[in-house]
Structure 1
Amino acid sequence: MPASGAVERHRGPKWASFYGAEALRTQLAFFDRYLRERDVPPPPRLRLEIRDRLDHVVQVRDEREWPPARTDWRRLRLGEGGALSDAEGGAGSVTSDLRREAAVFDHRFDEDTELSGPMTLRLRVAATGAEDPRLFAGIEKWSHGAPVPFEGSYGYGRDLVAQGRLRLALRELDPVLSTPHQPEHTFRTLQPVRDGEEADVLIALSSSATLFRAGDELRLTVAGRYQRPRNPFFGHFPTHYQPTTSGKATILWSPGNASTLEIPVIPKT
């Protein structure tokens, strides 16, 4: 019998999930089918676990591919006053200190919305006073005026929904590996950013499977440093990324050249 693969996507603690009762049943069924050659149904190609916070699973379901083929890819436009909207806006910009500040944009959901899949941030950006600028993008979920925590790597319990980062000098895209909704960079060619020069960059954000309830907010932050503290007790240890040490970044947008966040909305069935 030919071997087959299956993928499980979850947001629970790594070892607790692996050794949990359901996971052990799945592993045993896999071995029964492919090692003992018993008459056991094949596993689903993808098991997807959707959460609305760190400790609550909303739904578990099987999928045939990743991202799901039925995904409704929507682009939210960055705008004045920290707006993040699906409506066309005018021209504008926001400037932040890369060492101490973050540019923040919020989008409020009017109905329950599941976001399952990767996100992509498209920015028109100019850096000044920064020798080798780096940008760190994060997606937070806010509910009733407070951030909602999620499980992260290494047992970190106050993680973001999704995150991504890019050294702007390595912004060259790989035309072979990139897909319409998942950009990949070559990381081979240096394209230094001159002081004040505007550049178009794509930042791939990590995948997630998250439910936003009606009234919840998605918050996008863009900074010059990693957005979680690095220490073994209260931070995202041992993850570490070199920050931008000086300068400012200006994010720009206009009707003909919008800065956007692409989100993977799963239609209701």
Structure 2
Amino acid sequence: MGSHSSEVRDGMRIDWDVPIPMDDGVVLRADVYRPVAEGRHPVIMTHGPYAKGLAFQEGYPGMWGPLSTKYPDVTAGSSNRYQNWETVDPEKWVPEGYACVRVDSRGAGRSPGLLDIFSPRETEDYRACIEWAGTRPWSSGKVGLLGISYYAVNQWQVAALRPPHLAAICPWEGASDLYREFARHGGILNTFTSVWYPAQVASVQHGVGERGARNPNTGEFVAGPGTRLEPELAALRTDAPAELLSRPLDEAYYRERSPELEKITVPVLSATNWAHHLHTRGGFEGYARVGSADKWLEVHGLEHFAEFYTDYGVALQKRFFGHFLKGEDTGWDLQPPVQLNVRHVDGAFERRPEREWPLARTRWTELQLNAGALTMGEEAAREEASADFDAAGDGLTFTTEPFPEDAEITGPAAARLHIASTTTDADLFLTLRVLDPDGADVTFVSGLDPAGVVGAGWLRASHRATDPERSLPHRPWHTHDRPQPLTPGEVVALDVEIWPTSVVVPAGHRVALTVTGRDFELPGDGPWPSTYGVPMKGHGIFLHNDPDDRPSEVFAGTTTLVSGPAHPSHLLLPFVPRNARPAG
């Protein structure tokens, strides 16, 4: 099965490139960090395509620099020699008696085979790796999963297969529905994969070899051994961006890559971010739908990766896994089912325990849209009105009156819009905004944008069909199983999901809803920060501008929004009384 090595360094026993055979003969490779002393230890595992040997500092310097500077607790107490993108730092876990296992998934890093992200084969591999780790002489037999993004998405996937040695999972900001959260927002292609896949996955495909980085701890190629020509590599990976573009409906491809959350029964700590347009929804949906008797939800803000590495996040993770993997008295039995970090406009967070999600004391409020005045409020519109907008332009913005007192909006939101189009389809982009007394946007550090919007929702009009059994007033469930083209000029009703958000709106501020036919952009001339060459103007790099998915002859027409007694268009918001907080 090839060579692997073992050494003691920095207070750990490290086994490099340990072979893990799969049932079809492919051998995956893992790095194992464990205590030097003999014994059986609970396992913290990740499995994925980002190359276990790629140093965070080298592979992602644009993220590592701000993270390590802005949050000094991230690097404190560690040599940081083993930092790896979106996985735990073993120097903070091994001293407490854990074995940390990082596995390169099939076709990535040091593991050969066909690279096919989120595929059933990859999930089966993960299950085999969990069982392998649970039966090693150095393992206690209890395996926990902990990681961000990809390493969270595939936790939901593999946990639904119920590996016997899986004891607990903590998916930290990870999608749980490949179609609705990762690939197609409201049926509209999210172009993230076309940017992310070449930069972060194909760049460390097994066989990149000498064209890629070296592991600073071993000197080995992170995506080797061996170096293949690009045509050979292309034949050994699926074309993920092309797959998503070619599959506009929620078909078997997406279903077999999205877990049946109800089958998950192990303890779950679902941690999610208020503002990540790939992962926010997945954390809430995962928490709500898993079959686990023991489940918790934590919601935070800031950058996508920040709180995973800070003392706040690490302490939460250790309390959870200490309880379920080690049987320690960590106080987790007193942990509230829901822990929120409610956002304030000055960038501060209000940490608050809750009993449920959505909050039972929510005052669900319909703000009626007036297309004539471009206002919204609780009073129903008395007359019919309409407003046209260029689908390729700035759209329409509806605003409330200034709030007379502070008001909290925390929870999922939705809108019912009555629209018509001059073409056979229309894409709707809904942006929830808070405007200060001068009319300027209040923005937040979001998952991948230093000035993110407050909330967002999307829907392709031809995908307006909903499943009444799965839909809720605050979370319509679109089937995305058949197109329903528009008849030009004919008004139809659309129920649009707006992903969960949180903000305390101060007195004197307004709430606004902007409806556009393209990605919303914050007003102003920038300069705008960019990631992988994509300028970020409020939505990070999660854009919807593929011309093949959105041909101009269909999606660049004129859209009409209608309001009034016969066409009541409204925004449903989750107001939370500030004077009726639950006990801790």
1:194 counterpart SS class: coil
Equivalent runs, 1:45-84 vs 2, <5 Å? 45-53=337-345, 55-57=347-349, 59-79=350-370, 80-84=372-376
Which residue of structure 2 aligns with residue 136 of structure 1? 429
CA distance in 2, matches of 1:86, 1:214: 17
- 2:426–2:461: 8 Å Cα contact kept in structure 1? yes
How far the C-alpha of 1:255 sits from its partner, in A, is 2.1
Q: Which has the higher contact order (CA 8 A, sep 6+)?
A: 1
* Structure 1 residues 206 and 54: alpha-carbon distance in aligned structure 2, compared to 1, 3 A threshold: farther
Which residue of structure 1 aligns with residue 320 of structure 2? 30
Which residue of structure 2 aligns with residue 177 of structure 1? 470
Which residue of structure 2 aligns with residue 153 of structure 1? 447
1:33 counterpart SS class: helix
How far the C-alpha of 1:256 sits from its partner, in A, is 4.0
Task: Say yes or no: does 1:16 pair with 2:306.
Answer: yes
How far the C-alpha of 1:122 sits from its partner, in A, is 0.4
How far the C-alpha of 1:11 sits from its partner, in A, is 1.6
Which residue of structure 2 aligns with residue 116 of structure 1? 410
- 1:102–1:223: 8 Å Cα contact kept in structure 2? yes
RMSD across aligned positions (CA): 1.9
* Structure 1 residues 54 and 168: alpha-carbon distance in aligned structure 2, compared to 1, 3 A threshold: farther
CA distance in 2, matches of 1:78, 1:5: 38
Which residue of structure 1 aligns with residue 185 of structure 2? none
Q: Which has the higher strand share?
A: 1
Q: Is 195-204 or 79-88 further displaced after alignment?
A: 79-88
- 1:33–1:40: 8 Å Cα contact kept in structure 2? yes
Which residue of structure 2 aligns with residue 194 of structure 1? 487
* Structure 1 residues 251 and 12: alpha-carbon distance in aligned structure 2, compared to 1, 3 A threshold: same
- 2:452–2:540: 8 Å Cα contact kept in structure 1? no
The one of 207, 217, 225 aligned to 2:510? 217
Deviations along 1:49-68, whole A, 9 cap, x unmatched? 111237321x1111121111
Letter of the 2:543 counterpart: H
CA distance in 2, matches of 1:255, 1:109: 25
How far the C-alpha of 1:29 sits from its partner, in A, is 1.2
How far the C-alpha of 1:233 sits from its partner, in A, is 4.4
Which residue of structure 1 aligns with residue 109 of structure 2? none
The one of 293, 296, 309 aligned to 1:6? 296
* Structure 1 residues 233 and 254: alpha-carbon distance in aligned structure 2, compared to 1, 3 A threshold: closer
CA distance in 2, matches of 1:180, 1:81: 26
Deviations along 1:92-136, whole A, 9 cap, x unmatched? 1111111113111001322111000011110111111x3431111
CA distance in 1, matches of 2:404, 2:564: 25
* Structure 1 residues 101 and 15: alpha-carbon distance in aligned structure 2, compared to 1, 3 A threshold: closer
CA distance in 1, matches of 2:431, 2:411: 15
- 1:133–1:167: 8 Å Cα contact kept in structure 2? yes
Task: Say yes or no: does 1:102 pair with 2:392.
Answer: no
Which residue of structure 1 aligns with residue 379 of structure 2? 87
CA distance in 2, matches of 1:111, 1:63: 23
CA distance in 2, matches of 1:9, 1:234: 23
- 2:443–2:451: 8 Å Cα contact kept in structure 1? yes
Q: Is 162-171 or 87-96 further displaced after alignment?
A: 87-96
Letter of the 1:13 counterpart: E
CA distance in 1, matches of 2:420, 2:377: 22
CA distance in 1, matches of 2:501, 2:520: 18
CA distance in 2, matches of 1:202, 1:221: 15
- 2:338–2:354: 8 Å Cα contact kept in structure 1? yes
How far the C-alpha of 1:237 sits from its partner, in A, is 4.7
Q: Is 245-254 or 113-122 further displaced after alignment?
A: 245-254
How far the C-alpha of 1:238 sits from its partner, in A, is 3.2
CA distance in 1, matches of 2:468, 2:446: 31
The one of 495, 516, 521 aligned to 1:228? 521
- 1:96–1:102: 8 Å Cα contact kept in structure 2? yes
Letter of the 1:202 counterpart: D
Which residues of structure 1 form unaligned runs of 5+? none
The one of 512, 536, 541 aligned to 1:238? 541
Deviations along 1:57-97, whole A, 9 cap, x unmatched? 1x111112111111110000111321111112222111111
CA distance in 1, matches of 2:469, 2:556: 34
The one of 571, 574, 578 aligned to 1:261? 571
How far the C-alpha of 1:171 sits from its partner, in A, is 0.3
* Structure 1 residues 19 and 73: alpha-carbon distance in aligned structure 2, compared to 1, 3 A threshold: same
- 1:54–1:157: 8 Å Cα contact kept in structure 2? no
Using the aligned pairs only, state the percent identity.
Answer: 29
2:295 counterpart SS class: coil
* Structure 1 residues 237 and 69: alpha-carbon distance in aligned structure 2, compared to 1, 3 A threshold: closer
Q: How many residues are treated as equivalent by the alignment?
A: 266
- 1:143–1:217: 8 Å Cα contact kept in structure 2? yes
Q: Which has the higher helix share?
A: 2
- 2:345–2:505: 8 Å Cα contact kept in structure 1? no
* Structure 1 residues 191 and 131: alpha-carbon distance in aligned structure 2, compared to 1, 3 A threshold: closer
2:373 counterpart SS class: helix
- 2:304–2:446: 8 Å Cα contact kept in structure 1? no
